[in-house]
Amino acid sequence: MLLNRRIIVGICGGIASYKAIDLVSKLQQAGALVDVIMTEHAEEFVRPLTFATMSHRRVYSDLWEASGEAAETHIKLAEEAELLVIVPATANTIAKLAHGMTDNMLTAVALATRAPLLLAPAMYTNMYTHPATQANLATLRERGAFVVEPEVGRLASGAIGVGRFPETATLLGAIHQVLGRHGDLAGRRVIVTAGGTQEPIDPVRYVGNRSSGKMGYNLAVEARDRGAHVILVSGPVALPPPFGVEMHLVETAMQMRDAVSDFITDADALIMSAAVADFRPTRVAEQKIKKLRTEATGQHREDEFSIDLVANPDILGELALALKGGHAGEQHTGISIPQLKRRLIRVGFAAETEHLVEHAQAKLQRKQLDLLVANDVSRTDSGFGTDTNKVLIFHADGAMEDLPVMPKTGVAAAIWDRVVPLLG
C-alpha cells in the first residue's frame, strides 16, 4: 500500500524528533518515497544526515537557499505529495499552521499542498493542554487535518502526563488509514471477531483454545486501510490494539454474542474469525478449586476430577435463524436483531483437522453464510499462531477457491476482495 506513495515527513524541533527516524526508516522500507523537511529547530536535535540516510533521499530545510532552488522545490514537493505527516508537531508549528503562517520550508509546503495533513503533537503536558494549543488543533481538525493524540506516559522532563510521542506502529496505522480513506470499503461499517474465547472454571482457570487472533487483527487492519469503520470484537490475545479500529474486548462466548448482537444493526459485514468456545463450564466456582486431598493425611488424591460443560450459543447459527425469522434454541437467549438497516454479509471460518471440504461445505450451509474460509490447522504453515495461512474459500453458490500459502495480511486482503463485490 505504501509502495511508491509520496509522503512528506515534516520534523519539528522537539525532543521526540529522534523517534521520527524510526518512522522514516519504516516508511522507506515499505517502499514509500519519503521527503523529509526539517525545521531549523529540528536540526538542533537530529542532524539532516540521519534522515537522509534513512529516507535514501535528500533532506530539505532551508527555504532561503542562496541558489533560489528551494522556492521552486517547495511548490514541486507540495504538488507531488500524497500526504504530509508532521512528527513531532510542536506547539509552535501547530500555531503557525492554524494561522497560515509560513516562515520556513515546512510551513510553506504545508500551505502550498492539497495533500491531507497528519499531525502527531508531542510536548510538555501544560503546553499541549493549553487552550491556545487546543484551539489551534481544533482549527486544524475543522479544516480536515488528522491528529494522532499524544500518549500519556513519561515525558522527557521525567514527569508523567499527556504529551508523549506515539509508537511508530501507531503512526504507521494512522498513515495507512489516511491514505486508504477512499478505498473500496469507504463508508462501510464492518465487524470482525478475533481470538479465542475464555470460559471461566474458577477465578484463576478457564477453558480456552489456541487462537492467537492474528487472522482477525489482520482482517480488521485491512478493512481500516480500505476506508471502513471497523469494530473489532476481540477475545483475550497478546496483540496490541490496532490504531483507528473501534475495540471491544470480551472474554466469553456469551459476551462475544452480546457484542455482535449490539453492533449488527447497522453493519454491512460480519467476519467471524474468532474461535468461539463451543462449551462453557456449567458452574463457575466462586473460589479457586483446590486439589483433592485425603482428610486424614492431607495427601494429594489421584482421583478423577471432571468439569460439567454446557453448550454455548452458536453466534453465526443463531444469526442465520434470526434472519430467517426463526428463533434460537431454547437454552439460548438468542441474538436479537431489531431491524437490520442493510443486508449483512456474513463470513465464517472453519478450522479443521480432517475432512476439510465436507465439514466446510456443511458449515456454510448450516450457518447460511456468504463465504466460508476454511483451513487445515494440523498443517505447520497454517492456522493457530502462524503468520501464514493456507485457506480454501467456499462461496454460497457452491464455488470453491484453493488459495496458496500466504501471509495472513494477504489472506485478509483476499477475503475483503471477495466481500466487496457482495456489498452491492
Residue 48, C-alpha cell as written in the block: 539532516
Chain position carrying cell 537530529: 46
Can 389 be counted among the known catalytic residues?
A: no
Q: What's the start-to-end Cα distance of the chain, in Å? A: 24
- Please report, as residue ranges, which positions from 105 to 164 form the binding site for ligand CTP (by CB under 6 A): none
Under DSSP, is residue 202 helix (H, G, I), strand (E, B) or coil?
strand
| Strand boundaries in 282-341, DSSP class E | 309-311
> Contacting ligand CTP (CB under 6 A), which of 146, 206, 243, 349?
349
From 60-68, 75-83, 121-129, 272-280, span contacting ligand CTP (CB under 6 A):
272-280
> Contacting ligand CTP (CB under 6 A), which of 36, 348, 375, 408?
348
94 binds ligand CTP (CB under 6 A): no
412 binds ligand CTP (CB under 6 A): no
How many whole angstroms separate alpha carbon 317 and alpha carbon 315?
Answer: 5
**Which amino acid does the sequence have at 136?**
N
- 165 versus 416: smaller Cβ distance to ligand CTP: 416
- 119 versus 274: smaller Cβ distance to ligand CTP: 274
Across 396-409, b (16+ Cβ under 10 Å) vs e yields eeeeeeebeebebb
274 binds ligand CTP (CB under 6 A): yes
160 marked as binding residue: no
Q: Active site residue: 4, 104, 209, 312, which one?
A: 209
CB 253, min distance to ligand CTP, A: 6
307 marked as binding residue: no
387 marked as binding residue: no
Do 318 and 328 meet the contact criterion of CB atoms below 8 Å apart? Answer: yes
- 268 versus 352: smaller Cβ distance to ligand CTP: 352
How many whole angstroms separate alpha carbon 312 and alpha carbon 279?
Answer: 5
- 88 versus 196: smaller Cβ distance to ligand CTP: 196
Under DSSP, is residue 205 helix (H, G, I), strand (E, B) or coil?
strand
The DSSP bridge partners found for residue 194 are 234
415 binds ligand CTP (CB under 6 A): no
How many whole angstroms separate alpha carbon 348 and alpha carbon 272?
Answer: 5
How many whole angstroms separate alpha carbon 424 and alpha carbon 422?
Answer: 5
350 binds ligand CTP (CB under 6 A): yes
CB 334, min distance to ligand CTP, A: 13
Do 190 and 269 meet the contact criterion of CB atoms below 8 Å apart? Answer: yes
278 marked as binding residue: yes
Q: How far is CA 303 from the centre of its chain?
A: 47
Residue 323: count of CB within 10 angstroms of its CB:
16
Q: Omega of the bond prior to 88 within 30 degrees of 0, cis?
A: yes
76 marked as binding residue: no
62 marked as binding residue: no
Closest by CA to 294, choosing from 302, 283, 286, is 302
Strands 151-154 and 160-164 come out as antiparallel
From 121-129, 155-163, 313-321, 411-419, span contacting ligand CTP (CB under 6 A):
313-321
> Contacting ligand CTP (CB under 6 A), which of 233, 254, 316, 411?
316
> Contacting ligand CTP (CB under 6 A), which of 194, 232, 272, 344?
272
CB 84, min distance to ligand CTP, A: 41
CB 397, min distance to ligand CTP, A: 19
Contacts with 421 (C-beta within 8 Å, 6 or more apart), sequence order: none
278 binds ligand CTP (CB under 6 A): yes
> Contacting ligand CTP (CB under 6 A), which of 252, 312, 386, 389?
312
- 171 versus 315: smaller Cβ distance to ligand CTP: 315
From 4-12, 23-31, 210-218, 269-277, span contacting ligand CTP (CB under 6 A):
269-277
421 marked as binding residue: no
316 marked as binding residue: yes
- Please report, as residue ranges, which positions from 228 to 257 form the binding site for ligand CTP (by CB under 6 A): 253
**Which amino acid does the sequence have at 204?**
V
CB 79, min distance to ligand CTP, A: 47
Do 212 and 385 meet the contact criterion of CB atoms below 8 Å apart? Answer: yes
19 marked as binding residue: no
Residue 32: count of CB within 10 angstroms of its CB:
23
- 16 versus 316: smaller Cβ distance to ligand CTP: 316
314 binds ligand CTP (CB under 6 A): yes
Q: Enumerate the active-site residues.
A: 209
Q: Which residues bind ligand CTP (CB under 6 A)?
A: 253, 272, 274, 276, 278, 312, 314-316, 348-351, 363
Binding-site residue set: 278, 288, 313-316, 349, 363, 367
Mark the binding-site residues for CTP, compressed into ranges.
278, 288, 313-316, 349, 363, 367
